Copies of this chain bind each other. A is one copy, B any other.
Amino acid sequence: MRALVKTEAGPGMVVRDVPVPPCGPSDVLIKVHYAGVCGTDLHIWEWDAWASARLKPPVTIGHEFAGEIVQMGVEARAEGLLAVGDRVTAEGHIVCGHCLPCRTGDAHVCRRTRIIGVDRDGAFAEFIAMPASNVMKLDGIPTEIGAIMDPMGNAVHTVLEGGDVAGSAVLVLGCGPIGCFAVGVARAAGASLVIASDLNPTRLDLARRMGAHVTLNPASDDVVGRIRDLTGGEGVDLVCEMSGHPNGHQTAFSAARLAGRVNLLGTPSRTTEVNFARDVIFKGLTLYGVTGRRMYDTWQQMFRLLRAGQLDPRPVVTHRFGLEQMAEAIQVIKDGQAGKVILEIGA
């Protein structure tokens, strides 16, 4: 089959013919229809410090996808819960199920997580084999949307961690695809005020289309001052920090209200100076580091919001490419003009 492979240490990826992966007894084999291109894939393409430390080429890239089950292992079939022909997506973290986090509701930070497209072969390929327990039926959700439920799930995890959002004021810092999804999730969950901030006007426009009540641009707006005005001087209940930038962290701590919450998903490439006394302790703040998606609470919440039509991610999808066009996909992401970029593989 064709697959997009990091063949050796260094930048880039190549399409090459590789064997269809074997389908173990507990696995299902999925024909990939669509896959999403993630910022992580950009790091892998560019072979940055993180990527070179973690990946062991050759490895097929890609961790966001949806498609159709074409084969089932004997145990997966015996369960009787999935079937050949089902349209499905999958959680890309393959976890051990035995460690303390796995056993206590935090499998998303399993000590032994293996991520598809990073630690084992991924989804930028015609077929992928996945443990049946990681696979979920789309049941009517369009397959293309199914392909981006992984990053949408990051947004659901970030917005809904920490309690009831209904009636809250939520600030989304950083309007890449996950930030834009977060705007939509906050609206669907009944937030009273959703403020989105980014330096990029194109991204702010996507945030508005996802339902942001107010968009702010740090290039021209006094972000913290405007937030104070918009919230009667309180600050916001929840900050979704998607920028991963030290400036974003500082804005987050300043913009959060007393006893508020900052959920951090954007992964910084460097350290941040934190004034814990002023910004965390005296304010009684809660900070939470978001990795992946809660398995599988996050997915259930997302399925429900999507199926009810409360969350519609389609405005965020701006580009579609074929598997052979990965260089172009990477380029539009680097240019900062893209929302979500999708690879059309086998649809």
Partner-contacting stretch, out of A3-11, A104-112, A219-227, A338-346: A104-112
Partner-contacting stretch, out of A30-38, A116-124, A201-209, A289-297: A289-297
B residues within 8 A CB of A307? 192
The smallest C-beta distance from A318 to any residue of chain B, in angstroms, reads 26
Q: Are A166 and B163 in contact (CB under 8 A)?
A: no
Q: Are A164 and B167 in contact (CB under 8 A)?
A: no
- Quick check: is A55 within 8 A (CB to CB) of the other chain? no
Report if A189-B190 is in contact (Cβ < 8 Å); known contacts: A168-B304, A275-B271, A297-B104.
yes
Q: Are B192 and A166 in contact (CB under 8 A)?
A: no
The complex is assembled from copies of this chain, and their number is: 4
B residues within 8 A CB of A301? 164, 166-167
Please measure, in the bound complex, the distance between the C-alpha atom of A106 and the C-alpha atom of B300, giving whole angstroms: 13
B residues within 8 A CB of A271? 273-276
Q: Are A192 and B276 in contact (CB under 8 A)?
A: no
Q: Are B79 and A96 in contact (CB under 8 A)?
A: yes
Please measure, in the bound complex, the distance between the C-alpha atom of A101 and the C-alpha atom of B234, giving whole angstroms: 10
Nearest-CB residue, chain B, relative to A265: B281
- Contact residues on A (Cβ < 8 Å of other chain), bracket: 35 or more
Q: Are B106 and A296 in contact (CB under 8 A)?
A: no
- Quick check: is A317 within 8 A (CB to CB) of the other chain? no
Partner-contacting stretch, out of A56-64, A173-181, A256-264: A256-264
Within 8 A of B (CB), among A152-180: 160, 163-168
Q: Are B166 and A165 in contact (CB under 8 A)?
A: yes
B-facing mask of A303-331, CB < 8 A → 1, else 0?
01101101000000000000000000000
Partner of A167, one of B267, B281, B290, B310: B310
B-facing mask of A276-295, CB < 8 A → 1, else 0?
11001111111111110000
Q: Are A258 and B106 in contact (CB under 8 A)?
A: yes
Partner of A106, one of B108, B193, B284: B284
Partner of A165, one of B75, B108, B164: B164
Within 8 A of B (CB), among A57-112: 74-75, 79, 81-82, 96-98, 100-101, 103-106, 108-111
Q: Are A258 and B109 in contact (CB under 8 A)?
A: yes
Q: Are A268 and B277 in contact (CB under 8 A)?
A: yes
- Quick check: is A247 within 8 A (CB to CB) of the other chain? no
Please measure, in the bound complex, the distance between the C-alpha atom of A20 and the C-alpha atom of B83, giving whole angstroms: 31
B residues within 8 A CB of A268? 275-277
Q: Are A24 and B75 in contact (CB under 8 A)?
A: yes
Partner of A289, one of B103, B265, B284, B300: B284
Kindly name the residue among A164, A188, A244, A269 whose own CB sees the greatest number of chain B CB atoms within 10 A. A164
B residues within 8 A CB of A291? 281-284
Please measure, in the bound complex, the distance between the C-alpha atom of A204 and the C-alpha atom of B275, giving whole angstroms: 28
Beyond A160-B164, A265-B281, 6 additional pairs, beta carbon < 8 A: A26-B75, A106-B258, A167-B188, A267-B277, A273-B273, A285-B289
Residues of A within 8 A of B (CB): 24-26, 74-75, 79, 81-82, 96-98, 100-101, 103-106, 108-111, 133, 136, 160, 163-168, 188-190, 192-193, 234, 244, 249, 257-259, 264-265, 267-269, 271-277, 280-291, 296-297, 299-301, 304-305, 307-308, 310
